[in-house]
Amino acid sequence: MRILLVEDDTLLGMAVRDQIAADGHAVDWAKRIGEAEDHLAAAHYDLVLLDLMLPDGRGLDFLRHRRQAGDTMPVIVLTARDQVSDRIAGLNAGADDYLVKPFDLDELSARLGAVARRYAGKPNPEVQLGELTIDMAARSIRRAGRQIALTAREWSLFEAFLQRPGMLLSKGQLEERLYTFGAEVESNTIEVYVARLRKKLGADTICTERGLGYRLGQPGGA
């Protein structure tokens, strides 16, 4: 996923950013609402992590405005406010989930995955793809009972296909899953990762549409 973190606390922001990156996601970090709006205008994001109290405004007002404008992108609120009334206000403004500071970073990773699965129409974390049994929550893949290990970036790319079965994904769309703003993109990165996934999961796991992009296939065996 490509995630936008909107948080003005430097220490917390660094910890959350590093956790998301370690999970294999691309993350851009904005410390103000204005900066967040600039990011959202320039790139497609799969999810937003939103602090409620920011230097140039209230996160709830920002969220409410986005929802009124028809934005359906999933949003998880991060806040120190732990009253039930605050949680209700956040959910009523359009938040999909709510994490009270301080929170466990592993719980954050789990919440990100759960919200992403709901938006992809796959609330059940287990997916069957040919002979592959995929646990989206645990980020594990098995074939005939044997575990197949993916790196964080390999998983992030594979997850893009799992969330959009049958959809053609361009090289540019896939690069957005792996890179943040300002990162240097090597021209053959996607080809390299697709080749790695095919080697580990089966040659027909990902199909190439020459000159257009890639789509998820139906692997039949080792």
Using the predicted structure, report yes or no on whether residue 1 has a pLDDT greater than 90: no
How do residues 170-198 score in pLDDT, each as one tens digit? 988 888 777 765 566 677 888 999 999 99
Whose tokens are 């605050």? That residue is 86
- Contact present, 103 and 79 (Cβ < 8 Å): no
Whose tokens are 């466990």? That residue is 104
Orientation angle between helical segments 33-42 and 59-68, nearest 10 degrees = 30
Q: Give the mean model confidence (pLDDT) for residues 185-212.
A: 89
Which residues make Cβ contacts (< 8 Å) with residue 212, sequence separation at least 6? 168, 170
How do residues 57-116 score in pLDDT, each as one tens digit? 999 999 999 998 888 889 999 988 777 888 888 888 889 898 998 899 999 998 888 888
Q: Give the mean model confidence (pLDDT) for residues 28-41.
A: 95
pLDDT band at residue 221, thresholds of 50, 70 and 90?
very low
Between 131 and 125, name the one with better pLDDT: 131
Distance CA 46, CA 212 (A): 22
Using the predicted structure, report yes or no on whether residue 140 has a pLDDT greater than 90: no
Q: What ranges do the domains of the chain cover?
A: 2-119, 126-216
Using the predicted structure, report yes or no on whether residue 50 has a pLDDT greater than 90: yes
Name the percent of the chain lying above pLDDT 90: 43
How do residues 5-23 score in pLDDT, each as one tens digit? 999 999 999 999 999 988 8
* CATH number of the domain located at residue range(s) 2-119 in this protein: 3.40.50.2300
Q: What 3 state SS string does 151-212 have?
A: CHHHHHHHHHHHCCCCCCECHHHHHHHHCCCCCCCCCCHHHHHHHHHHHHHCCCCEEEECCC
- Pick the closest to residue 147 from 134, 128, 137 (CA basis): 134
Residue 48 tokens, joined = 């937003």
Q: In the chain, how many H helices and how many E strands?
A: 8, 13
Same CATH topology for 2-119 and 126-216?
no
What is the pLDDT, as a whole number, of residue 62? 94
Between 54 and 211, name the one with better pLDDT: 54
* CATH number of the domain located at residue range(s) 126-216 in this protein: 1.10.10.10
Using the predicted structure, report yes or no on whether residue 222 has a pLDDT greater than 70: no
What is the pLDDT, as a whole number, of residue 124? 60
Q: Mean pLDDT in the chain?
A: 86
| Sign, Cα dihedral of 68, 71, 74, 78 | negative
* Cα within 13 Å of Cα(155), Cβ side: 19
What is the pLDDT, as a whole number, of residue 206? 93
What is the pLDDT, as a whole number, of residue 10? 95
